[in-house]
Structure 1
Amino acid sequence: MNLRSSWVAETGQTREDTRLNQVGATTPANPVQVRSGILPGSYDGQYRLSGFWMFGSAAMSATVSEGRAVIQGDISQGMYPVTLPTSETITFGAGNAQFNRIDLVVLKIYDNVYDATQRNEAKIEIIQGKAEPDPKAPLAPPRSLALYEVTVPAGASAGNGGIPWNTALRDLRTPVVAVGGIIPVEGPVLPGAHPGQYQDTADGQFQRWDGGKWVSYPAAIGGIIPSSASTTPASYTGQYRDGAGGQLQRWNGSAWAPAVPGPYYNDNTDAGYTTSATYTPTLVERTSNLSLTFTAPPSKAVLVNFGARTRGSNDYYSYMALRLTQGSTVVQEPSDDYAVMAATVHSLSLSMSRRLSGLVAGASYTLTAYYRVVANPSGVKAWFDNSFIRVDPQA
């Protein structure tokens, strides 16, 4: 057996054994244990993980390629580095006459101090599974690292076609790197050991462990997530993305929202009138009232534009003003001080701008148009048409 290990044999460890096994790969699993796994790398740099790659080399035999790995024992046993400097051939037993079985290929550490086997060595072994109608792979024994599952068909033998290697192998290898290294993910995605650990997923996505989950970093900190990755969850509050339709969005801690919301706009092109001397949102002959709901920006300030085409009397002013509410709470009642007003029998288009500040950032507000005419004994009708409200968030 060519598999070499360090700190297992009671006698006979050579300087060559020690040199070969200076792996320096200890991806933490907890404060005192590391992940078992294989050091990444390939001869031409094309592949993440070439160590201990296995392929069929005969009807019932497979070749395990050279590689280096670490195998974690129980919490008090430490980590065993192993190296296979040249490839190794292993042979599988013949298939059962009736049922398939699944064998497990492992790197196995024998340590007499812990297993009383009178052996101190590292081996590549085949753990043979049970042949049954629905076969399951056997569990990996202590101080071992699973490499492959191999399905051995019923009746398989050297003289009967052997194992169909193209479909029989299930790769279980996982990589490990030194502390602080970026893990190239192959096989199952394992939890991180500490916040700030990084991994490069099988589909090329860079991720960071935040203490509970792997969080994707599709762009550098402060960068804008491109539209091609716009379904990726945000990494932090305040991150930006190029959303659907090219809209710049900001993660507010729970959802993606427009980075620059608005402008908001609504209008009503129905003509209607009022004879009320007090403010009312309802106009006779108009089928609906005019209102506009908006979200207060981080600046807590918006610029409001509103107006209408109006006519009434040369002697009595007509007014249009806005009422501001937050839910059921009235923030500001309509007032003549902040109204558009005119006294004319001719149609006249009027508008004004006003800045609202001191709003609650992220809160939803509603502006509703209200109308009135100066009290008079003649029942003057103040007409309003093409009324509108527009809100522009301020920086």
Structure 2
Amino acid sequence: MTLHSVWLPPAGQSRQATRLASLGATTPSGPLQSRSGILPGHDDPRYRVGGFVVSGVTGGMTAGVSHGRAVIQGTVTQGAYPVALDEDITVTFPDGDAQYNRIDLLVLRVYDDAYDGSGRSEAAVEIIKGTPAATPAVPALPTLALALAQVTVRAGTGAGSGGIDWANDRTDLRTTLVSVGGILPVYNNATVAGGYPGHYQDNDVLGYLQRWNGTAWVAYPKALGGIAPAGIVSTGGYTGQYRDSSLGVLQRWNGSAWLPAITPPPFVASQDAGYTTSTTYTAALTDTAVTALTLAFTAPATGAVLLHFGARMLTQSSTTASAFMTPQVTQGSTVVLSANDEVGASHSGTAYSSVSTVYRLAALTPGTSYTVTAMHRSSDAGVICWFDNMFMRVDPAN
């Protein structure tokens, strides 16, 4: 017999079976339970799992199953059954239905008469035949069985009619397990929950090591204080963690979301020209849809900012009058900086000219929100002053 299962035959077991199937501790899924799965290892070290590979014979209904070792978990008190197949075997799938496709499962299964009353105490490689249907379903996995492969057997398929399309109709369902404390090589089980916080797995598809934190697999190491590469971290491990986003933007985890680590300076602009003849500062302009040009900003830790502002201005039919644009800063209903000519940008002339200036505003409260509003006036009530292409920007300052 080439399929061995230890601590199962009622008449005892051979020393060979003990050597082949003695696996030690396994990947836990509970205090008394283990995952079911195939032990990793391959004759070619470039690959992860060589045991129980299902490979079909072209043009036929026969598939080969390669040698390997596995563990199949029973109920909590039943324990885990180590299984070893010491030579390759072949299995033959039944011919297809005349009308409908079906889906079969190839499984590694344990029978234990003491628990299932089957009259058998052995392990077997079996085909669980599905039901032919217009939309076939995968048959249920039997108790005490590990799925190896799923095979679609199309209508009319037989050894004399082309056989199974093994390249497209076979799906590898094998999963892995390792000894407790070992790093699990992921194979069809990347999203299966870890057995305990501190459990590690190597995700070959993503290309990095992961640690189970109790609720999710997290890239490891976290690189505390470092910048995580793009695509590695979906949820921050701590407030203040940084990552490079897929858009090439540095982001910071604020405890609940990823935000740009470097916030662009607040900026606002309008190209909808308007005019005023008011000799006192006003936010409203005539002949424009912009009611008022405003900009909100948060005071930096230094409590100082640079106010950049300007516009394309014209004093209609006058070369002596002046057009003024200046910022007014408020915090709530409190005016922090009043509109005044000394800090403003101004222009005199009947031809448009672009003017701008910068003003440093200090003594702000760090972390407090402020609003800056563009204010305008004419030096002469009889002169129309036009403002176009207006802008404001706020930068932190020392």
Shorter-chain TM-score bucket reads: 0.7 to 0.9
Q: Following TM superposition, by how much is the alpha carbon of 1:351 offset from its aligned partner in structure 2, in angstroms?
A: 4.6
2: CA distance, partners of 1:19 / 1:340: 89
The 1:23/1:204 distance shift into structure 2, 3 A limit, reads: farther
- 2:123 is matched with which residue? 122
The 1:307/1:140 distance shift into structure 2, 3 A limit, reads: closer
**Structure 1 residue 367 corresponds to structure 2 residue 391:** no
2: CA distance, partners of 1:51 / 1:99: 32
Tell me, yes or no, if the aligned pair for 1:69 and 1:82 is still in contact at 8 Å.
Answer: yes
Tell me, yes or no, if the aligned pair for 2:298 and 2:366 is still in contact at 8 Å.
Answer: no
The 1:143/1:267 distance shift into structure 2, 3 A limit, reads: closer
- 1:256 is matched with which residue? 258
- 1:238 is matched with which residue? 240
Tell me, yes or no, if the aligned pair for 1:272 and 1:285 is still in contact at 8 Å.
Answer: no
The 1:204/1:341 distance shift into structure 2, 3 A limit, reads: closer
- Provide the aligned length of Structure 1 versus Structure 2: 378
Tell me, yes or no, if the aligned pair for 1:191 and 1:213 is still in contact at 8 Å.
Answer: no
Structure 2 residue runs of 5 or longer lacking an equivalent are 316-323, 350-354
- 2:318 is matched with which residue? none
Q: Following TM superposition, by how much is the alpha carbon of 1:235 offset from its aligned partner in structure 2, in angstroms?
A: 3.0
* Stretch moving more, 80-89 or 157-166: 157-166
The 1:331/1:240 distance shift into structure 2, 3 A limit, reads: farther
2: CA distance, partners of 1:339 / 1:24: 84
Q: Following TM superposition, by how much is the alpha carbon of 1:259 offset from its aligned partner in structure 2, in angstroms?
A: 1.2
So what's the TM-score if we normalise by structure 1? 0.76
**Structure 1 residue 353 corresponds to structure 2 residue 323:** no
Q: For each residue in 1:234-259, what CA deviation from the matched residue of structure 2 results, as whole angstroms up to 9, or x when unmatched?
A: 43343323347644222323443221
- Aligned equivalent of 2:297, options 290, 294, 308: 294
Tell me, yes or no, if the aligned pair for 1:217 and 1:235 is still in contact at 8 Å.
Answer: no
2: CA distance, partners of 1:49 / 1:133: 34
* Stretch moving more, 23-32 or 117-126: 23-32
The 1:18/1:385 distance shift into structure 2, 3 A limit, reads: same
* Stretch moving more, 82-91 or 57-66: 57-66
Tell me, yes or no, if the aligned pair for 1:291 and 1:368 is still in contact at 8 Å.
Answer: yes
1: CA distance, partners of 2:339 / 2:165: 88
**Structure 1 residue 43 corresponds to structure 2 residue 28:** no
- 1:12 is matched with which residue? 12
The one-letter code of the counterpart of 1:324 is T
2: CA distance, partners of 1:100 / 1:167: 14
* Stretch moving more, 18-27 or 282-291: 282-291
Q: Following TM superposition, by how much is the alpha carbon of 1:74 offset from its aligned partner in structure 2, in angstroms?
A: 1.2
* Stretch moving more, 166-175 or 253-262: 253-262
**SS of equivalent to 1:29:** strand
**SS of equivalent to 2:115:** helix
The 1:38/1:275 distance shift into structure 2, 3 A limit, reads: same
Q: For each residue in 1:110-139, what CA deviation from the matched residue of structure 2 results, as whole angstroms up to 9, or x when unmatched?
A: 112201223222221222233444433321
RMSD: 4.3
Instruction: State percent identity of aligned pairs.
Output: 43
So what's the TM-score if we normalise by structure 2? 0.75
- 1:22 is matched with which residue? 22
Q: For each residue in 1:134-176, what CA deviation from the matched residue of structure 2 results, as whole angstroms up to 9, or x when unmatched?
A: 4333212111111112233445444554434333422111112
- Aligned equivalent of 2:279, options 275, 280, 297: 275
2: CA distance, partners of 1:246 / 1:93: 54
Tell me, yes or no, if the aligned pair for 1:307 and 1:340 is still in contact at 8 Å.
Answer: no
Structure 1 residue runs of 5 or longer lacking an equivalent are 312-317
